[in-house]
A and B are shown apart, each in its own frame.
Chain A
Amino acid sequence: SYVLTQPPSVSVAPGKTARITCGGNNIGSKSVHWYQQKPGQAPVLVIYYDSDRPSGIPERFSGSNSGNTATLTISRVEAGDEADYYCQVWDSSSDHLRVFGGGTKLTVL
C-alpha cells in the first residue's frame, strides 16, 4: 500500500515560518490533505486538495504538492499552532484506502 513519510518533529520560533513535509512516491499526482491535532483533541482539517483552506482556517496556513513531496507551510507561527500535523491521501488503487502519514510534532520555541 501507499506510504507517506513525515519528519517526526519540526521546531520553529514564534513569528517565523514552519514547513512540514510529506513524502510519497509521485505524491504530486495525488491530492494531499492536512490535519492539525492538539493534545487531547480530535483532528481538524486545515488544508484539503493540496492547498485549499476550509473556512475558519487562517491564511497563514498554506499547502503545496509537487513531485515526491507535499508541504504544509505555516507563516508567522504562533504559540497556538503547536500541535501534531498529519498528511493524508486517498489511495484509490488499493481498496479505497485513506492513508495517513506518521505525523509531525510542531514545537514553537
Chain B
Amino acid sequence: EVQLVESGGGLVKPGGSLRLSCAASGFTFSSYSMNWVRQAPGKGLEWVSSISSSSSYIYYADSVKGRFTISRDNAKNSLYLQMNSLRAEDTAVYYCARDLGSSGSRYFDLWGRGTLVTVSS
C-alpha cells in the first residue's frame, strides 16, 4: 500500500527541539521530492519546507527559516524535520506530503495522517 506515516510529535517547551520522521512505503521514495505541511489548531494549511529527490534543492517558508532543517534518507525511505528554537506558534499537526508536478507547478498528491506538535510551558 502506498502510504506515508509520520512520527515524533509531542509536547515540548518553548525554545526546545523536536525531530519528526516520515516513513514512506509502497512507492519509489527516492524518485520524489517531499514536503512538510503544517496546520495549527482550527487554522488552515501552511507549507513548511520541501526537499528534492536527491536533497540537492531545499526550500523553507520564511516562518521557519533558520530554525527548521529538512532532510531525507533514501536508503531508509524516510523524511525528517529537525525543529529547533520552537515557539508557541509552531504548535500544529505536521503532515508529510509527496510532491508532484512539472517545472510549471507543483502539488501534493499523497499525504500522511500527521503528527501533533505542541509547544507549551
Q: Which residues does A use to contact B, with CB under 8 Å?
A: 1, 30-31, 33, 35, 37, 41-45, 48-49, 54, 84, 86, 88-90, 92, 95-103
B111: min CB distance to chain A, Å = 4
Q: Which residues does B use to contact A, with CB under 8 Å?
A: 35, 37, 44-47, 50, 57, 59-62, 95, 100-101, 103-109, 111-114
The secondary structure that dominates the B interface is: strand
Most buried by A among B60, B106, B114: B106
> A90: which of B101, B109, B114 is its contact (CB, 8 Å)?
B101
Question: Complex Cα distance A95/B59, Å?
Answer: 7
User: Given A31-B104, A96-B50, A97-B59, are A86 and B113 neighbors across the interface (CB < 8 Å)?
Assistant: no
Supply 30 A–B pairs (Cβ within 8 Å), ascending by A: A30-B105, A33-B107, A33-B108, A35-B45, A41-B113, A42-B95, A42-B111, A42-B113, A43-B108, A45-B108, A48-B101, A49-B107, A84-B44, A86-B44, A86-B45, A88-B45, A88-B107, A88-B108, A89-B105, A90-B101, A90-B106, A90-B107, A95-B60, A96-B59, A96-B106, A97-B59, A97-B61, A98-B47, A98-B50, A99-B47
